[in-house]
Structure 1
Amino acid sequence: MDQFIDVLDRNKSYVPMLILLNKVDLVDEAYLEEMKKQLPEFIPISADKKLNIDNLKETIFENLNLVRVYLKPQGRKADMNDPLVIKKGSTVIDACDKLHKEFVKNFRHAKIWGTSVKFPGQKVGPDHVLEDEDVLRIILKK
């Protein structure tokens, strides 16, 4: 009820959060099971032993609503180590805008490899919505 009143009064804002339980390597399994009953959505980790850190990273990435887009320069392979990170729902022209203003101005079309297209190397326009781990090649006007 208090949260409902806060929303109407607009005097507080609520932000998403993650609950982490660190040092899980020092507790027994029974304690973890008890914690799961009390806090069903916590993430157990051990920073020292690096337990469950990859799951934590993936959860943070998903909660931030981001996607990774790999860029493929003409005549070369895509750089799969250094993605362009953009908001989920971003279009090809949004990605161009992140890279350089000239890319927006001189955009002709793009080619995409990934889950957002029907076949690899599909030619798309500026309004095509990119998905996580798509490979993008931007074709500019000469």
Structure 2
Amino acid sequence: MATLTENEDWFLIQFLQPLNYHIDKGVFMPANLPPQYFEAESRYRSAKTISQKINALEEMLTIMPKHKGTDRLHGELRRKLAKFRNELKQKKKKAAKRASSYSIDREGAGQVVLVGPPNVGKSQIINIATNASPEVAEYPFTTRRPTPGMLNFENIQIQLVDTPPLSPDFMEPWLLDIIRRGDLIMLVVDLSEDPLTQAEETITLLQNFKIRLTPNESIFREGITYKKAIMVGNKQDLPKSREHFQILKELLGEQLPMVAISAKDGHNLDELKIRLYQGLNILRVYTKAPGKNPDLNTPFILEKGSTVQDLAGYIHKDFLQKLKYARVWSPRGLKGLMVQRDYALQEGDIVELHT
């Protein structure tokens, strides 16, 4: 079927549509279009985005009466709608591809995302704490892409992710998605340069995007993402940093747990590791076969509150289906205690599953 030429389209808009006529194969056909149709068409003509055009076209098709006088117009609108829907689909695919190129696959016992204003030393922390080598410089906005690294803590690894700085002047569009997906947020501030203002501005900036840092568990409620977080004061080796850290604790200590470190000389890095492990809300348990010693070098990582049943299902579905009971040894003094499937496991438990 032929489509409207530019001249026909212009003539239709200027002269025939106000008279409720439409061109069909060179013949003037009465369209009997209601006023609401022309209102929707006006919105279509003034639409700035593909989504707005799609919405207006859908409304026009819904309002349009179906008879011979509107057959050709109906076909034209359907083709335009299909074209715009395809354009929107391709646009979303390209956006998803760009976003996925910056996504970081979770590894280890948990993922900790470092955030903060420019030049607070996030990359320096990654450098000294992990095997990663992000670019480190004295000028701001050195980090342009997320950089993961693995932090060794006793017999497990925790993934740290360095990110570009948070700033009201500029922020990478994909950064918020990485923050939302992280297990724990590490808010880093520079203790030598007004850390209170840095912390408050970063917290407020995230709140503007409906992300709130909390000492409690991460949840999504009423359109707001609450992310469990810890605040890390870096550059403790510089003058006035200890004084600034005390002020920070007095004013914001109830909002977030805090630790002061020096990424330059590694001071208090062990304390940071402990805090991160505690903040991930996980526990380590070990298994053993009857009559054999446990492998204490390779723990199973579970969420706090997990049970013997959860451990069995994590190992293999057959264990879960056939599990009868378990025996538990623990640092708390348990020595082969017989427990049921719903027994709540604790840090360091050694579990012997019986089927």
C-alpha RMSD of matched pairs (Å): 2.5
2:246 & 2:320 partners in 1: Cα distance?
A: 53
Partner of 1:75: 291
1:110 & 1:48 partners in 2: Cα distance?
A: 47
**1:95, CA displacement in angstroms?**
0.4
Partner of 2:246: 33
CA deviation string 1:61-96 (max 9, x = no partner): 222221111112333211222211101111101001
CA deviation string 1:30-82 (max 9, x = no partner): 44434433443421112332222222222222222211111123332112222
1:75 & 1:112 partners in 2: Cα distance?
A: 13
Percent identity at matched positions?
31
**Given the two structures, how large is their TM-score scaled by the length of structure 1?**
0.77
Secondary structure of 1:26's partner?
Answer: coil
1:63 & 1:32 partners in 2: Cα distance?
A: 20
Structure 2, unmatched stretches of 5+, are 1-206, 211-220
Partner of 2:350: 135
**1:12, CA displacement in angstroms?**
2.6
Q: How many residues align?
A: 133
Give yes or no for contact 1:115–1:131 (8 Å, CA) kept in 2. no
Give yes or no for contact 2:229–2:279 (8 Å, CA) kept in 1. no
1:55 & 1:93 partners in 2: Cα distance?
A: 33
Partner of 2:315: 99
1:14 pairs with one of 209, 212, 226? 226
CA deviation string 1:113-134 (max 9, x = no partner): 1167x74111111111111111
2:239 & 2:350 partners in 1: Cα distance?
A: 43
Q: Which amino acid is the alignment partner of residue 354 of structure 2? A: I
Partner of 2:261: 45
Q: Which amino acid is the alignment partner of residue 33 of structure 1? A: Q
Pair 136,34 (structure 1): closer, same or farther in 2 beyond 3 Å: same
1:21 & 1:38 partners in 2: Cα distance?
A: 14
**Given the two structures, how large is their TM-score scaled by the length of structure 2?**
0.34
Partner of 1:24: 236
Q: Which has the higher contact order (CA 8 A, sep 6+)?
A: 1
The structure in which a higher percent of residues are helix is 2
Q: Which amino acid is the alignment partner of residue 348 of structure 2? A: E
1:119 & 1:14 partners in 2: Cα distance?
A: 37
Alignment partner of 1:64 is 2:276: no
Pair 32,15 (structure 1): closer, same or farther in 2 beyond 3 Å: closer
Structure 1, unmatched stretches of 5+, are none
1:71 & 1:125 partners in 2: Cα distance?
A: 16
Secondary structure of 1:95's partner?
Answer: helix
